[in-house]
Amino acid sequence: MVFFSVGKIYGNNYSHSINIIYSRTLSNDSIFQNGIRDVVSLLEKAGIQATLNAENNTGSYWELQTKNLVSSSILDTAVLYEDFSWLQTATNGAICKAETPKGLVNGLYAMLQEKMGFYSYHTRNTSIPKGCKPTFVSFEGKKVFDKIGFHVHAMHPLEITECLLDANFSGGLACVKEYIDWLARNGQNYFEFNLLESIDRATWLPHAKAITDYAHQRGIFCGADLSLHMLQQKAFQLYKSPPASLKTKEKQLEQNAEWLIQAGFDVWNVELSATEFSAGDMAEKSALLEVLQKILSKHGVKLMSRKHVVKADKMVSGNAENELLTKEHGLMIHTVMFYSLLDEHAPVYENDNLLHMRDLLLKEMEQRETWYFPETAYWVTFDLSVPMLLLPYLQARLADIEYCDSLQKIDGHLTFTSGWEWGNWLFDWSVARWSWNYFEYGAKLKKEPLQYARQVIENEAFEQYFVNVADAQQTYIKDKDLIKVLVAQTVTDEMPGKFNIEFHPRPEYSYPYIRNDADSSELAAMNDKYLIPLREFMQKCKPIEDNFTLNPMEEELYWALKITGLRAQHKYSTLSYLLQHRSKELGLPFSKEDYLLKASLIREEGLAIVDTMERKFYRYPLSWVAEKRADHTCYHFGYLYPVHQLHFWEREELQATKNKYKFWYRSIWNIPRTIGLIN
């Protein structure tokens, strides 16, 4: 058991101590001991003296029960019993009951976050309340899914990518442990990241083992994202083709698997394709997967793969890879950007929507372990690289969680995360909290998209502004498709022929077409579809007065929303210039405003915000996240490097001026390295 005893309260200042009593049987349990130490540390930061007492377990309050379960992996057995309940006592305290040490730790952290005002919102930040006391009520927590966690997309140069992939990166292991602690504080039980070919095998294996060992000590299971033979972005390959290796594919797979097993991962999330739009030789893959399944089963490792959003009829080669999978092979159903499984409109990856992924989810959950695998950011030219804080993510992610909860057959929820700055921590933190259902006196507590934003916002005027902007973004950016012009152009948007693939939303007419070839009706259509709604959106997102006093979290969110509004102004100016230029050529009436000058001035205002964010709010060194550097990814710069000088904003101004729209113009991408042609 865990028992809280609260001392006296004096006036408006709380001056109390907390006595935590637990069963002596937990004294040697690493998950409980690591958790309780962290809880005590957080309490002490709030000025609360916490006393720990281990007592002999009488069995009347808490008893560790051994479950006789037959399972194909350690993961399946261990994560089932992590729920908790708090019961108020007659002596001004409470008892936490759970069936596992992880359940007790989850209960302690939930008490801090849901009832005492400790908000572990960022891996490097926890908001500590000023004067607090436990709210002792009948309070229960039940996971929505058995497996809940995050996939750090280390193919991209994120905050901790180098920390994960480089054993010699200064302070790297400590940074990874910070993130694992964040997962534990938010009740998560799974952590996954991409393994790349560029690792130094001689030094990385012990580093990886240190990561998985620490995660296990915090009640977190670990997964490695790797591939059979993926060519993109330096993905770790279980086999290579000649001349890179002359060994058979089976032999390479066996050797690589036996080597990687030593790292201690509990799940292997294996990419089956060479690219997202190709499936390859299905019979050969089936044979290789059989070999891999036998190796992993012998070591108690769960084999998973993911299904991309690309429909079968859009594949360059092959078909539905999930038809290869055995019953033991799990599947992650992946969706992208801020679109949900239920949205009727989601113009991504050549799709009208993602309803086919919903249908696949419904099918697969009846026959194998099935996880839902959505995103809270899509770094490349969509949100964080622009940058924009896109609040529709909140509504989409909550809608999907509640839909999956209603099915009651989805085994896991894994969030694809692509960075935490510019307020994106709000999305990950909200998803982590929503992966639990909480109950008071047996009644389920309601969830809503902005609930965790409201928790950290204290200024009433800013809260109303935040709500208004959230409504405007949902209506205009997502529902009215302004996202099509607010995103930056990705490489394939500017490629010809069959390579002109629509990965993220884009307007009906390309920018060079608007500037050089559009007729009067097409110009009118662009004005009606985008310029008029942009003006309306800009008006609804007009910033509040700068003299409001904001706390640090509010200020960070404010600047993130303000630069998103500036992005709308900038796009309005550059798009207006294109329509102006073409109208003049056609002899149509046109505005004589200097739209490119306005765009330049807006960008300068945006750069001032970037400077403020870099100085005051980035939690990691600029050399890690915002500068060019040698690294293990194919990019060789931090994920916020495009933001540092608002690269895409300036590029759009220059394209409009010079009429240069080839994909290589002012490009920051090394395409041959990205697609695997060179190292």
* pLDDT, tens only, 248-301: 999 999 999 999 999 999 999 999 887 666 666 678 888 899 999 999 999 999
pLDDT digits (tens, 9 = 90+) for 581-598: 999 999 999 899 999 999
Strand, coil or helix: 117: coil
For residues 154 and 231, membership in a common domain is answered with: yes
Q: For residues 454 and 464, what is the distance between their CA atoms, to the nearest angstrom? A: 10
When pLDDT is averaged across residues 148-165 and rounded to a whole number, the result is: 98
Q: Count the domains in the chain.
A: 3
Rounded to a whole number, what is the distance in angstroms from the first to the last CA of the chain? Answer: 55
Question: 106: domain CATH number?
Answer: 3.30.379
* Span of 262-276, 403-417, 513-527, 646-660 with lowest mean pLDDT: 262-276
For residues 101 and 238, membership in a common domain is answered with: no
Q: What are phi and psi of 340, to 5 degrees?
A: -105, 170
Question: 278: domain CATH number?
Answer: 3.20.20.80
For residues 76 and 124, membership in a common domain is answered with: yes
> What is the structure's pLDDT at 137?
75
pLDDT for 538 beyond 80: yes
Q: For residues 205 and 165, what is the distance between their CA atoms, to the nearest angstrom? A: 10
* Span of 14-28, 179-193, 321-335, 438-452 with lowest mean pLDDT: 14-28
Cα dist from 609 to 99, 306, 570, whole Å: 49, 38, 14
In a domain, 87, yes or no: yes
β-pair partners for 23: 55
In a domain, 142, yes or no: no
For residues 419 and 473, membership in a common domain is answered with: no
Cβ atoms of 112 and 124 closer than 8 Å: no
Q: For residues 228 and 190, what is the distance between their CA atoms, to the nearest angstrom? A: 22
For residues 162 and 85, membership in a common domain is answered with: no
539's tokens:
């008006």
For residues 247 and 227, membership in a common domain is answered with: yes
Among residues 472, 311, 333, the alpha carbon closest in space to that of 400 is found at 333
In a domain, 453, yes or no: no
In a domain, 439, yes or no: no
For residues 167 and 115, membership in a common domain is answered with: no
> What is the structure's pLDDT at 518?
97
For residues 420 and 472, membership in a common domain is answered with: no
In a domain, 159, yes or no: yes
When pLDDT is averaged across residues 114-129 and rounded to a whole number, the result is: 94
Among residues 103, 106, 107, the alpha carbon closest in space to that of 63 is found at 103
For residues 417 and 488, membership in a common domain is answered with: no
Burial status of residue 429 (CB atoms within 10 A of its CB: 0-12, 13-18, 19 or more): buried
β-pair partners for 375: 416
In a domain, 143, yes or no: no
pLDDT band at 1 (very low <50, low <70, confident <90, very high): very low
In a domain, 119, yes or no: yes
pLDDT digits (tens, 9 = 90+) for 618-670: 999 999 999 999 999 999 999 999 999 999 999 999 999 999 999 999 999 99
In a domain, 157, yes or no: yes
For residues 124 and 199, membership in a common domain is answered with: no
| pTM of this structure | 0.94
Q: Pick the last residue of a domain from 69, 103, 136.
A: 136
Q: What are phi and psi of 83, to 5 degrees?
A: -75, 170
Q: Pick the last residue of a domain from 136, 169, 184.
A: 136
For residues 183 and 314, membership in a common domain is answered with: yes
> Which residues span the domain enclosing 524?
460-674
Q: Pick the last residue of a domain from 136, 170, 194.
A: 136
For residues 152 and 127, membership in a common domain is answered with: no
Distance between alpha carbon 405 and the CA centroid of its chain, in Å? 19
Q: Are β-strands 221-227 and 119-122 bridged in parallel, bridged antiparallel, or unpaired?
A: unpaired
